[in-house]
Structure 1
Amino acid sequence: MEFSSADGAEQYAAVVRAGRRLLVALDFDGTLSPIVDDPAVAHIHPDAGEVLDRLAAEVRSIAVVTGRPARQVLALGGLDEVGDAIAEHGRELVVLGQYGNERWTSAHRRVVSPKPPPAISGLILALPHLLRRAGAPEAWIEEKGLAVAVHTRRLADPAAAFERLLPVLTEAARERGLSVEPGRLVVEIRASGMDKGRALHALVSEFEAGAVVFVGDDLGDVPAFEAVLELRATGLPTLLVCSGSDEESALRALADVEVAGPDGVMAFLAELAEDVRIRHA
């Protein structure tokens, strides 16, 4: 394992020592699953079920914190079955969808979600005009209930289209009191009041975690990274892992460890599980 921060090795050793008080939280897209042109087929890494099961036997809790709707992640990730396996270790898998607005656990097996804000419906009606204004009328609109995402990955020049769209959609969102989450060739707009950082703080409190590892890959994970650094400042052992790519580098400067996409995430989690097992055998 290669550490990308000056004290990465020390941070890693501290979370390993925390062992069964450790909370491991992960993004989904680009972290547990590869980034693909069609998000509807972004299935979880084939090794994820086995690796998460092994990890669950050694740590306090595992959570998936994603911008996707929780039901979508459950289906793409086969997380119902993963939750069954984790339950055999006396642990609970938590899935927080829509940046923490939705919640599912392997203990309760139902998604708890607030009602969509009316402003989202209004924005969706305005999107065709906004996309034409930004010169990207063929950008793909993904309605998520509590949010809407505009993808440019399928366009001829996706990066240029993204740069044109971002200021237009940001202005439209702010006029409606909504939040904007830029990602990897996607602009997501959602209700204000919740982000991955707040969601992570709540998980740490709920599970009385004695240490935290967070793994993410893009701009939507910045609030979670910042939350981890806040927890670190209080003395809590923490580790930040960036699932790196050529498309996004926002997390690299904050991370303690950088790995090569979902393959690297699986290798990291397997190594973490084994090191905790040996340390606490």
Structure 2
Amino acid sequence: MEFSSPDGERRYAALVRSAGATVVGLDFDGTLSPIVDDPEAAGIHPAAPGVLVALAEQVHAVAVVTGRPARQVLALGGLDEVGDAMGEAGHELLVFGQYGNERWTSFDRRVVSPRPPAGLSSFLSELPGLLRRGEAAEAYVEDKGLAVAVHTRRLPDPAGAFERLLPLLSAAADAHDLAVEPGRNVVEVRAPGMHKGAVVQRLAADPEVRGFVFVGDDLGDREAFEAVAELRAGGADTLLVCADHDEDEGSALRDLADVVVAGPDGVLDFLRTLTADAARK
């Protein structure tokens, strides 16, 4: 665990003292799950379930906040079982899918989801032509129901394809009143108005919450980092953790983070340390 500054170390100590009133928010891909070429093969780190269950004993709440559909991340992460284990000790696991448009909790056991955004079906009908124009016809298209994600990681030049597609997809999304979320070799198009920062604000509105940790790894987590920074400005105990992959997409988070760790392995080491320190306080 590498603190970015003396302030990071001080913030961590304050957070440990208020752990029982702290929410820990976690991205999934690249944070709890290693980055892989096939998004459908991104299983949770094998040590993560046990680490999350132990963490829940020491903090107010644990929330997984992901761009994936909630049902998909529940299956990839085995989070039903993680929620069961937490529930035996009286703790709840929260999962926010599709940047907060979907919500599942281990107590409620159902995914609450809105209708698909207006304009998404028209965007999808235009997408093959946009991919051809961007010389990325073989890009992997993931239809999430409430959003569509275009992945370039499997292409011969992932970064080049991403750079060509981003302006094309952004212009088309804007024409259909949709939002664009760029990430690590992926462009996601979805309904506007909901993002991970809004999830942070919703969770922090609980009057029992006095602290917040968010752990993420790429541009899709930036709004969550910014929302946590706003909580800090308001007097909350907070900590921002970047799971670093030595790629450009994480640089914006590294600049904002209090702690930088090495990928999912580093994330789990951080959570183990937080759990142990909170138990000793």
Cα offset, 1:205, TM superposition: 1.3
| Runs (4+) off by over 4 Å | none
Question: So what's the TM-score if we normalise by structure 1?
Answer: 0.98
Letter in 2 for 1:268: F
Which shifted more, 21-30 or 118-127?
118-127
Letter in 1 for 2:274: L
Question: Partner of 1:94 in structure 2?
Answer: 94
Alignment of 1:248-259 (within 5 A): 248=249, 249-259=251-261
Which shifted more, 143-152 or 244-253?
244-253
Cα offset, 1:216, TM superposition: 0.3
Residue 106 in 1 paired to residue 106 in 2? yes
Cα deviation, 1:111-130, whole Å, max 9, x if unaligned, reads 00001113111111110000
Runs (5+) with no aligned partner, structure 2:
none
Cα offset, 1:104, TM superposition: 0.2
Aligned equivalents of 2:160, 2:273: Cα separation in 1: 39
Counterpart contact for 1:95–1:104, Cα < 8 Å: yes
Aligned equivalents of 1:167, 1:6: Cα separation in 2: 40
Aligned equivalents of 1:207, 1:93: Cα separation in 2: 18
Letter in 2 for 1:109: R
Question: Partner of 1:262 in structure 2?
Answer: 264
Letter in 2 for 1:15: L
Cα deviation, 1:240-279, whole Å, max 9, x if unaligned, reads 0000112222210000001000010010000000000001
Letter in 1 for 2:59: V
Counterpart contact for 1:5–1:255, Cα < 8 Å: no
Work out which of the residue numbers 251, 271, 274 in structure 1 matches 2:273.
271
Question: Helix, strand or coil: the match of 1:241?
Answer: strand
Question: Partner of 2:69 in structure 1?
Answer: 69
Question: Partner of 1:79 in structure 2?
Answer: 79
Question: Helix, strand or coil: the match of 2:236?
Answer: coil
Aligned equivalents of 1:131, 1:19: Cα separation in 2: 47
Letter in 1 for 2:39: P
Aligned equivalents of 2:46, 2:229: Cα separation in 1: 31
Letter in 2 for 1:182: P
Residue 196 in 1 paired to residue 217 in 2? no
Cα deviation, 1:202-238, whole Å, max 9, x if unaligned, reads 0111363110000000001000000000000001000
Question: So what's the TM-score if we normalise by structure 2?
Answer: 0.98
**Number of aligned residues:** 279
Cα deviation, 1:58-84, whole Å, max 9, x if unaligned, reads 111000000000000000000000001
Question: Partner of 1:124 in structure 2?
Answer: 124
Aligned equivalents of 2:226, 2:213: Cα separation in 1: 12
Aligned equivalents of 1:204, 1:89: Cα separation in 2: 23
Letter in 1 for 2:152: T
Question: Partner of 1:22 in structure 2?
Answer: 22
Residue 136 in 1 paired to residue 136 in 2? yes
